[in-house]
Amino acid sequence: MFTTATTTSQKILQMFAAILLFAAVIGLILFIAGRFTGKRDRAIAALYLGPTVLMLSVGLLYPGLRTIYQSFLDASLKNFIGFDNYVTILSDPEQLTVLRNTAFWVLVTPFVATGVGLLYAILVDKARMESFAKALIFLPMSISFVAAGVIWKFMYEFRPDQGNIKQIGFVNQLIVWLGGEPQQLLIDSPLNTFLLIAVMVWIQAGFAMTVLSAAIKAIPDDIIEAARLDGVGPWGMFRFVTLPAIRPAVIVVITTIAIGTLKVFDIVQTMTGGRFDTSVIANEFYSQTFRSDNRGLGAALAVVLFILVIPIVVYNIRQLRRSEA
């Protein structure tokens, strides 16, 4: 029953069994570690690291290696086809559009979201009702990507300009108020991709503002006062004092948003389903694997996504170590 749960009650029992098993294993580890306290540090370290290494191997390392292997197989995962899937990604017009859209997302979202968050953090710093102003821009962070996609899909909603039909989408209603004609915004490429990017910027700007605001407040007051005594203006203060002081935080924010952007799936799937030339690598991986049943190409897309994330993670780690040093 626990291995082939089909009904809701069986799945609930399976969940509780897994929780109890996890608690039992943790309890056993703590009990054994308590017996070695003060005796064998290496034994205790191995006892704690052992389950972690095992879970990482089963849940991360093995699936990763298997995905790499499957990327060299055909759609049915039965025949070895070499690098054909990667050639398809780099030559097929649809896959090139996916790569182009992913590039748009990665090049635009992190910098725009960080810029908006930084500007907002500077404007509201030490202002009246600062906490309330920050809460307003941070609120989208509490919304899931799916919910944000649904909200903005209504914002972009289109109704034909006929008779008494009124627009229910705010963006198209604004266009009508300005004397224009309503547009089917989510089907015009590449405009639709940038409209989806705007949703991600709306969500991530709050994260950028929070981190950068904390970094700005951590700048020593004596440095700020010395700059003011030297006659440094607002722009000079930002360029020569604020920005250099918060540079590590800016890099962390940009790289973190970039990694999240590379993995974006929910917004695209909710708003367009990847249609109208809006698909990105994460969404295409899902579509090829589960809709088109081309598991070989889906695995290759997953590997490409992994390869693209690695340089950003490595750069982020190096910057963190440099800032700590």
Q: What is the pLDDT of residue 19?
A: 87
Classified as helix, coil or strand, 79 is coil
Top-confidence residue, 100 or 24:
100
Q: What is the pLDDT of residue 3?
A: 57
Confidence class for position 238, pLDDT limits 50, 70, 90: confident
Q: Which CATH superfamily is domain 88-324 in?
A: MetI-like (1.10.3720.10)
Report the amino acid identity of residue 43. A
Contact (Cβ atoms closer than 8 angstroms) between residue 104 and residue 201: no
Give the tens place of pLDDT for each residue, 166-187.
Answer: 788 888 888 888 888 888 888 8
Backbone angles phi, psi at 73, to 5 degrees: -110, 170
Q: What is the pLDDT of residue 95?
A: 93
Burial class (CB in 10 A: 0-12, 13-18, 19+), 205: buried
Backbone angles phi, psi at 272, to 5 degrees: -130, -15
| C-alpha dist (Å) from residue 171 to 72, 156, 165, 176, 183 | 45, 6, 16, 9, 9
pLDDT(139) > 80: yes
d(CA 204, CA 199): 9
Q: What is the pLDDT of residue 270?
A: 93
How many residues in total does the chain contain?
325
Mean pLDDT of 194-223: 92
Domain range summary for the chain, segments of one domain joined by +: 8-70, 88-324
Give the tens place of pLDDT for each residue, 13-56.
Answer: 888 888 888 888 888 877 777 776 555 667 777 777 877 888 88
Q: What is the pLDDT of residue 28?
A: 81
Which residues share a beta bridge with 263?
none
Q: Output Rg (C-alpha) for the chain, integer angstroms.
A: 25
pLDDT(226) > 60: yes
Give the tens place of pLDDT for each residue, 110-137.
Answer: 999 999 999 999 888 887 888 888 888 8
Report pTM.
0.83
Q: Which two tokens stand for residue 206?
A: 């709050």
Q: Which two tokens stand for residue 143?
A: 């919304």
